[in-house]
Chain A
Amino acid sequence: MKARQWIVAAGALALLATTGCGAADMTKQASPYADAAGTKTVTLSVQSWVGARANAAVAKYLLEHELDYRVDTVQVDEVPAWDALSQGRVDAILEDWGHPDQEKRYVEDKKTIAPGGDLGVTGHIGWFVPKYFADAHPDVLDWKNLNKYASQLRTAESGGKGQLLDGSPSYVTHDKALVNNLGLDYKVVFAGSEAAQITQIQQFAKKKQPFLTYWYEPQWLFNEVPMVEVKLPPYTDACAEKGAADPSTVNCAYPTSTLKKFLNADFTRKGGKAARFLKNFHWSKDDQNEVAQMIAEEKLSAEEAAERWVERHPDVWKRWLP
C-alpha cells in the first residue's frame, strides 16, 4: 500500500531530523521555564519537610527582593534532587542530610556538583518517645527494653507488633534494618509524608497515648510535643562503613550530621550574585525554627513567614549579600 510507504518515509525522516544533527547533551538541558522572558531565574529544590521549606522561603524572598532574581521552587525528593542538580535542572539544594554515594558520584567523580558550604545547622535523626511516656516508664529509653513495650505501641496498621512510625519514604532511614538486626518486635509504618506523621503525633499527644517515632532535630514540633530520644547502640565508624556497603546490616544509631548546601557546578561559575548569596547563606537552628514554626504552626504562607523573619533579623542576612 502506498500510504504505508509514505508513513515509513515520514518516520525515517523524523528520526533523521532528530538524530542527524550533532550531539545533544541531555545533562546540559535546563528547565524550559528558566530565564523565560528575559528574567534571571534561580531554581531551588525544596524538600517536603518544614525546615527545608524555611530555608528555601528565606532564600527566595531575599533573592527576589534584594537581588532581583526570579525564583522557582520545585519539589523533588532528596536523591532525585541530586540527579536534577547535576543536570542543572535545579541550581541548589540548601539542606542535605548526607548522601555519601551521591556525593562521591557527582562531586568527586563527575564534578557536576560543587559543595556550597554548611547551612549552619546540625541535624540528628533518632527514635523518640513522648516525654509523658518516658516519665512514666524511664526504662523505655534503652532500646533493649523496647520489646517490653511493644504491646502498648500496637495500632491497626502495625498488626500484632508494636508500631515504629516513620514519615516520608524519601527520608534517610535504616529503620527496617535496625528493627531486624536488633531483633525488635516492631513494624515500621510509613505515614507517607512528614505532615501526616506530624498529624498522627499530635493526635497521639492529645490523648496522651504512647508512641515510638522516627524523628529528627532541629524540629519545631519539640516545642509542642516534648519528646525524648531512645538510646540505640552507639554510632561507630565501623558500623557506618558496614552500612555503606550493605544498608541492610546497619545496627547502630544515626550519626549527628552537619547539614550542607550543594550547588550545580556551572551555576557556581556563572550564577553571579545568586550563587555567591546561596554560598553565604548560613543561619542557626533557632533562626530556622522560627521560620518553620511560622509556616507550620501559625499557618503563614512561606513568603509571609520569610518576610517577617527578614524584617526581624537584618543583622543575620545582611552578611549574606554579595
Chain B
Amino acid sequence: MSTATSPARPASTAKAKAPAAGSAATGPAARPAADAAPADMPPAPTAGAGPLRALWARPAARKLLVLAAAAAVLVPLAATAWGSGTWPHALTVDLTGPLGRANDWIIDNRDHHWIFLYFFGHISGAIIGAVHAVYTVLLALGWAGVTVGAGLLAWRVAGVRVAVTTLASFAVCGLLGMWVPTMRTLALMIVAVAASVVVGALLGLAAGLSERTFRALRPVLDTMQALPAFAYLMPVVLVFGIGVAPAVLATVVYAAPPMARLTALGLRATDKGVLEAVESLGATPRQRLLTVRLPLARRELLLGVNQAIMMALSMAVIASVIGADGLGDRVYQALSTVDVGSALAAGIPIVLLAIVLDRTTAAAGDGRASHGPSGRLVWPLVAAATAAAAVAARLLDARNWPGDWTLSIAAPVNDAKDWMVDHLYSGVPGVGGTAEWAAHYTGWILDPLRDGLQGLPWWGALLLVAALAWLIGTWRTALTAVLALAAIGVLGRWEVSMDTLSQVIAAVAVTLVLGFAIAVPAARSPRVDRLLRPVLDVFQTMPQFVYLIPVVALFGIGRAPAAAAAVVYALPAVVRITSQGLRQVNPGAMESARSLGATSGQQLRHVQFPLARPELLLAVNQAVVLVLSVVIIGGLVGGGALGYEVVFGLAQGDLATGLVAGAAIVCLGLTLDRVTQPTKAEKKGAGA
C-alpha cells in the first residue's frame, strides 16, 4: 500500500519486510538480471558433435562435470582420511575453553580495564543517557501529549488517514494497559533508529562516493541482511552484559545495513547527464553532493529510513531476550508462561507501532507532494498543540494513562484459546486436530528429513551445496557456500545445524507450495490482489516475535509451532514477489500462447513460470532467509537445535555455547543464502 503508489519501483518488491527489504529494494537495479535466463537456453546441437561436447556446451552441465571430476579426486581421499559419516571429529576446533576464558576475563575486568572504562563504557553510557533523555521527554509529554503530537506529526507528513490511524493506535496501546512499556519501546526505538540512520548514511555515503568502498561493502551488507536477528545478540552481550545498551547496539547493527545500501544506491543512481551539467556550471564536489546527488536520492534515503525503522522495531522486540525491557519483555514474559492472552496484549501495540511508523515514513518517502497541510506555520502549530495537550493533561493530573481506562483482554483471549485448544487441538473429525498435525509433521516430515541430513556423509553435503550454489550462481557464491558449511563442521555444530536445516527445508517447502498457490490467483485476478494486499501489508510489518504467540496455542511446544510461525512470517514476501513476477510476464508472450490454444495450466507452466524465473528464484531465496530467522527464534518455543543453543547460552550465561551456536547460525544463513541466490549481475549492479 505504502509504496504501491511509487511509479518506478514494483510495488511487490519495493517494500518487503526486514531482510527481504534490502535485496528486494535493490531488485530493480541489481538482482533480477537477465543473465539467468540465457544460461538455461539449450544451444542448438551442432551437427556431428559428440554427445559429450553437446553436454559440454551447456553451462550447467559443464559446471556439474567439473564438480564431478573434482569430487572423483577429492572424495576418496577425504573419505579414507576422515571417514564418511557425520563431520569428522579430527576436523573440529573446540572453542569452548578460550571463549569461556574470554567471557570470564571480560566479567572480571569490566569495571577497571581501560578498554571498558574509556571506550565501551562511554558507548554504553551515551546510549543509556540518550534513551533516558528520550524516555523522560515522552513521560513529561504524558499520554495526551504523545498521542496528540504523534497524530499531528502523522497528519503533517502523511495525511489525515494515517493521522487517524496513529491516534487510534496510541489509544489502543493505552487501553490495553501497555502505555508504559510502549513508551519504553518507543524511546529505545527512537535512539536506535537515529543511530542506525546516522551510521547507515555515513557508510552509504562512503560507498556511494567511492567505487572501491562500494565493492568492499556490498557483499558485507548483503550478508548482514541475510542473517537471523538472533545471531546478533551474543557478541554484544559478551561485551556489554544484559541491558538496554547491548539491545540498542544489536538493533543498530541489524538496522543500519539497509540504510547504508539504499543510500549508496540512491547516490550512485544520479543521472549522469544532470551531474555533468552541474559540473560544467563549476560546482565543487561538495556542492554537487549537497545540491544534486543527495536531493535526487531523497526517495532512496527515505525508503532507507523506513527500512531501518521496520528492522529496528523487529529487533528491539527480539532484544528483550537480552534485557531490552518494554513491549518485547512483556511478550517474552508471557511466552515463558504460555499466557497467550497477555502476550497478545503486548503484541498488539507492537504491531500498531509498526503500522504507524511504516505508514508515516513510507508516505514521507512517497515522492508526491505533501499529503497533509503545508505552510510555514504548521510546525510551530504542531509543537504548540502538543505542548498544550501535555500541559492540559498535567493540569488534570493525568500524566499516566488513567488506570480505569484499561481493558483487560488477557482473560477472554485465554478463554478463547482454551476453547480452541479443547476443540481444535485434537480429534477434530475428518482432518484431525492441530496437535495431530503437529505430531504428523514432526514424525513424518521433520524426523526423516533430519535423520537423512544427519546421515548424509559430510563430503556429500558439501558437494550437494557446491552443486546447487554453482548451478544458479557463480563459482564465487559456490565457494562461499561450501566454506560456510565447512565452518559449521569445524565449529563442531554439524549435527545440530543439520537439525535446524531440516526444519528450514521443510518449512520452506510448505511456504513455497502455499505461496505459489496464493500468488497464482492473485496474479491473474486484480480483485484477489486487492483483497490480499492489506492482509499482506499487515503481515509484513509484524515483528517476528509476534508470530510465536498464536502458534504455541495451536500447536503446543516443539518444532512444529516454530515451523508454523516461520511459514506465516515468510508467506507474504513469497506471495508478493511471485505474483509480481507472474504479472510482469510479457503480455505478448501470454497472448501468443493463448492464441496457440494453450490451456491456462499450460500457460502457467510453459510461459509464466519460465519467464518469471528470476522472481521465482528471488522468492525462494527470501523464503529461505525469512524462514531461517524464525526457525532460530523457535528455540524459545521448543524448536531445539541452534536456536535452543543460543537461548541456552543466554539463559545460562554460557556464552561459549551461545557464541559458537551464533557463529553456526551465521554460517548456515550464509550457506542457505548463497545456495538460493540467483546470479547477480556484478557489473550491471554496480552501474545501476
Residue positions of A touching B, CB distance < 8 A: 1-4, 6-7, 10-11, 18-19, 21-33, 36-37, 46, 48, 50, 53, 72, 74-84, 87, 89, 105, 110, 112, 156-157, 168-170, 190-196, 199-200, 299, 301
A270–B278 CA distance with the chains assembled, in angstroms: 65
With known contacts A26-B120, A26-B124, A200-B557, A32–B653 Cβ distance under 8 A: no
Task: List the B side residues contacting A11 at CB < 8 Å.
Answer: 202
Known: A105-B107, A193-B638. 18 other contacts (CB 8 A): A3-B209, A11-B202, A23-B121, A24-B117, A26-B111, A26-B117, A29-B128, A31-B128, A36-B139, A46-B333, A76-B242, A81-B242, A83-B242, A112-B111, A157-B558, A192-B639, A194-B337, A196-B557
Give the distance to chain A from B97, nearest Cβ to Cβ, in Å: 13
> Which of B136, B243, B332, B408 has a CB less than 8 Å from the CB of A75?
B332
Task: List the A side residues contacting B205 at CB < 8 Å.
Answer: 3, 7
Tell whether, in the assembled complex, residue A1 and residue B333 are in contact, meaning their CB atoms are under 8 Å apart: no
A164–B598 CA distance with the chains assembled, in angstroms: 59
Task: List the B side residues contacting A156 at CB < 8 Å.
Answer: 439, 442-443, 447
Tell whether, in the assembled complex, residue B184 and residue A33 are in contact, meaning their CB atoms are under 8 Å apart: yes
A299–B206 CA distance with the chains assembled, in angstroms: 56
Tell whether, in the assembled complex, residue B285 and residue A3 are in contact, meaning their CB atoms are under 8 Å apart: yes
Closest to B435 in A: A203
Task: List the B side residues contacting A32 at CB < 8 Å.
Answer: 128-129, 131-132, 135, 187, 244
Quick check: is B39 within 8 A (CB to CB) of the other chain?
Answer: no
A112–B111 CA distance with the chains assembled, in angstroms: 11
A6–B205 CA distance with the chains assembled, in angstroms: 11
Tell whether, in the assembled complex, residue A84 and residue B241 are in contact, meaning their CB atoms are under 8 Å apart: yes
Task: List the A side residues contacting B131 at CB < 8 Å.
Answer: 32-33
With known contacts A2-B285, A36-B136, A190-B644, A301–B410 Cβ distance under 8 A: yes
Tell whether, in the assembled complex, residue A77 and residue B650 are in contact, meaning their CB atoms are under 8 Å apart: yes
Give the residue among A29, A72, A170 with the most B Cβ atoms within 10 A: A29
With known contacts A26-B110, A199-B338, A74–B323 Cβ distance under 8 A: yes
A72–B183 CA distance with the chains assembled, in angstroms: 14
Task: List the B side residues contacting A193 at CB < 8 Å.
Answer: 335-338, 557, 636-638
Quick check: is B414 within 8 A (CB to CB) of the other chain?
Answer: yes
Can you list 8 pairs linking A and B with CB atoms under 8 Å apart? A1-B210, A2-B284, A24-B124, A36-B135, A75-B320, A75-B332, A76-B323, A89-B243
Tell whether, in the assembled complex, residue B245 and residue A29 are in contact, meaning their CB atoms are under 8 Å apart: yes
Give the distance to chain A from B245, nearest Cβ to Cβ, in Å: 7
Tell whether, in the assembled complex, residue B638 and residue A25 are in contact, meaning their CB atoms are under 8 Å apart: no
Task: List the B side residues contacting A199 at CB < 8 Å.
Answer: 338, 556-557
With known contacts A1-B285, A301-B410, A31–B244 Cβ distance under 8 A: yes
Give the distance to chain B from A23, nearest Cβ to Cβ, in Å: 4
Tell whether, in the assembled complex, residue B116 and residue A26 are in contact, meaning their CB atoms are under 8 Å apart: yes
Task: List the A side residues contacting B410 at CB < 8 Å.
Answer: 301
Task: List the B side residues contacting A7 at CB < 8 Å.
Answer: 202, 205-206
Quick check: is B105 within 8 A (CB to CB) of the other chain?
Answer: no
Tell whether, in the assembled complex, residue B557 and residue A191 are in contact, meaning their CB atoms are under 8 Å apart: yes
Task: List the A side residues contacting B654 at CB < 8 Å.
Answer: 79
With known contacts A75-B333, A75-B336, A193-B336, A299–B411 Cβ distance under 8 A: yes
Task: List the B side residues contacting A84 at CB < 8 Å.
Answer: 241-243, 323
Quick check: is B286 within 8 A (CB to CB) of the other chain?
Answer: yes
Task: List the A side residues contacting B322 at CB < 8 Å.
Answer: 80
The 8 closest A-B CB pairs, nearest first, are: A79-B653, A24-B121, A170-B651, A192-B638, A32-B132, A195-B338, A77-B651, A196-B557
Quick check: is B125 within 8 A (CB to CB) of the other chain?
Answer: yes
With known contacts A4-B206, A77-B650, A196-B557, A72–B338 Cβ distance under 8 A: no
Tell whether, in the assembled complex, residue B325 and residue A48 are in contact, meaning their CB atoms are under 8 Å apart: no
A31–B127 CA distance with the chains assembled, in angstroms: 11
Give the distance to chain A from B414, nearest Cβ to Cβ, in Å: 6
Task: List the A side residues contacting B590 at CB < 8 Å.
Answer: none
With known contacts A4-B206, A7-B206, A77-B650, A196–B638 Cβ distance under 8 A: yes
Quick check: is B126 within 8 A (CB to CB) of the other chain?
Answer: yes
Tell whether, in the assembled complex, residue B209 and residue A36 are in contact, meaning their CB atoms are under 8 Å apart: no
Residue positions of B touching A, CB distance < 8 A: 107-108, 110-111, 116-126, 128-129, 131-132, 135-136, 139-140, 184, 187, 202, 205-206, 209-210, 237, 240-245, 284-286, 289, 320, 322-323, 325, 329, 332-333, 335-339, 399, 408, 410-411, 414, 439, 442-443, 447, 556-558, 635-640, 644, 647-648, 650-654
Task: List the B side residues contacting A170 at CB < 8 Å.
Answer: 651-652
Give the distance to chain B from A115, nearest Cβ to Cβ, in Å: 19
Tell whether, in the assembled complex, residue B119 and residue A80 are in contact, meaning their CB atoms are under 8 Å apart: no
A271–B210 CA distance with the chains assembled, in angstroms: 55
Say what secondary structure dominates the interface of chain B: helix
Tell whether, in the assembled complex, residue A190 and residue B323 are in contact, meaning their CB atoms are under 8 Å apart: no
Give the distance to chain A from B21, nearest Cβ to Cβ, in Å: 25
Tell whether, in the assembled complex, residue A169 and residue B647 are in contact, meaning their CB atoms are under 8 Å apart: yes
> Which of B399, B411, B638, B650 has a CB less than 8 Å from the CB of A191?
B638
Tell whether, in the assembled complex, residue A77 and residue B652 are in contact, meaning their CB atoms are under 8 Å apart: yes
Tell whether, in the assembled complex, residue B336 and residue A194 are in contact, meaning their CB atoms are under 8 Å apart: yes
A53–B336 CA distance with the chains assembled, in angstroms: 12
Tell whether, in the assembled complex, residue B329 and residue A75 are in contact, meaning their CB atoms are under 8 Å apart: yes
Give the distance to chain A from B640, nearest Cβ to Cβ, in Å: 7
Give the distance to chain B from A252, nearest Cβ to Cβ, in Å: 21
Task: List the A side residues contacting B108 at CB < 8 Å.
Answer: 105, 110
A76–B336 CA distance with the chains assembled, in angstroms: 11
Task: List the A side residues contacting B286 at CB < 8 Å.
Answer: 2-3, 6
> Which of A6, A28, A82, A168 has a CB less than 8 Å from the CB of B651?
A168
A299–B126 CA distance with the chains assembled, in angstroms: 41
Closest to B142 in A: A37
Give the residue among A11, A18, A26 with the most B Cβ atoms within 10 A: A26
Task: List the B side residues contacting A46 at CB < 8 Å.
Answer: 333
Give the distance to chain A from B187, nearest Cβ to Cβ, in Å: 8
Tell whether, in the assembled complex, residue B132 and residue A78 are in contact, meaning their CB atoms are under 8 Å apart: no
Task: List the A side residues contacting B128 at CB < 8 Å.
Answer: 29-32
Closest to A173 in B: B652
Task: List the B side residues contacting A196 at CB < 8 Å.
Answer: 338, 556-557, 637-638
Tell whether, in the assembled complex, residue B651 and residue A169 are in contact, meaning their CB atoms are under 8 Å apart: yes
Tell whether, in the assembled complex, residue B323 and residue A192 are in contact, meaning their CB atoms are under 8 Å apart: no
> Which of B443, B637, B650 has a CB less than 8 Å from the CB of A80?
B650
Task: List the B side residues contacting A3 at CB < 8 Å.
Answer: 205, 209, 285-286, 289
Tell whether, in the assembled complex, residue B325 and residue A25 are in contact, meaning their CB atoms are under 8 Å apart: no
Tell whether, in the assembled complex, residue A18 and residue B122 are in contact, meaning their CB atoms are under 8 Å apart: yes
Task: List the B side residues contacting A25 at CB < 8 Å.
Answer: 111, 116-117, 121
Task: List the B side residues contacting A77 at CB < 8 Å.
Answer: 650-653
Tell whether, in the assembled complex, residue A23 and residue B644 are in contact, meaning their CB atoms are under 8 Å apart: no
Give the distance to chain A from B287, nearest Cβ to Cβ, in Å: 11
Task: List the A side residues contacting B320 at CB < 8 Å.
Answer: 75
Give the residue among B332, B338, B408, B410 with the most A Cβ atoms within 10 A: B338
A220–B75 CA distance with the chains assembled, in angstroms: 58
Task: List the A side residues contacting B644 at CB < 8 Å.
Answer: 169, 190, 192
Tell whether, in the assembled complex, residue A83 and residue B650 are in contact, meaning their CB atoms are under 8 Å apart: no
Give the distance to chain B from A187, nearest Cβ to Cβ, in Å: 12
Give the residue among B121, B126, B140, B210 with the most A Cβ atoms within 10 A: B121
A6–B123 CA distance with the chains assembled, in angstroms: 22
Give the distance to chain A from B117, nearest Cβ to Cβ, in Å: 4
A79–B649 CA distance with the chains assembled, in angstroms: 10
Task: List the B side residues contacting A76 at CB < 8 Å.
Answer: 242, 323
With known contacts A1-B209, A26-B240, A192–B117 Cβ distance under 8 A: no
Task: List the A side residues contacting B237 at CB < 8 Å.
Answer: 80
Task: List the A side residues contacting B651 at CB < 8 Å.
Answer: 77-80, 168-170
> Which of B125, B289, B335, B635 has a CB less than 8 Å from the CB of A26?
B125
Closest to A43 in B: B325
A299–B341 CA distance with the chains assembled, in angstroms: 11
Task: List the A side residues contacting B333 at CB < 8 Å.
Answer: 46, 48, 75
Give the distance to chain B from A233, nearest Cβ to Cβ, in Å: 24
A82–B119 CA distance with the chains assembled, in angstroms: 24
Tell whether, in the assembled complex, residue B285 and residue A18 are in contact, meaning their CB atoms are under 8 Å apart: no
Tell whether, in the assembled complex, residue B638 and residue A190 are in contact, meaning their CB atoms are under 8 Å apart: yes
A190–B242 CA distance with the chains assembled, in angstroms: 24
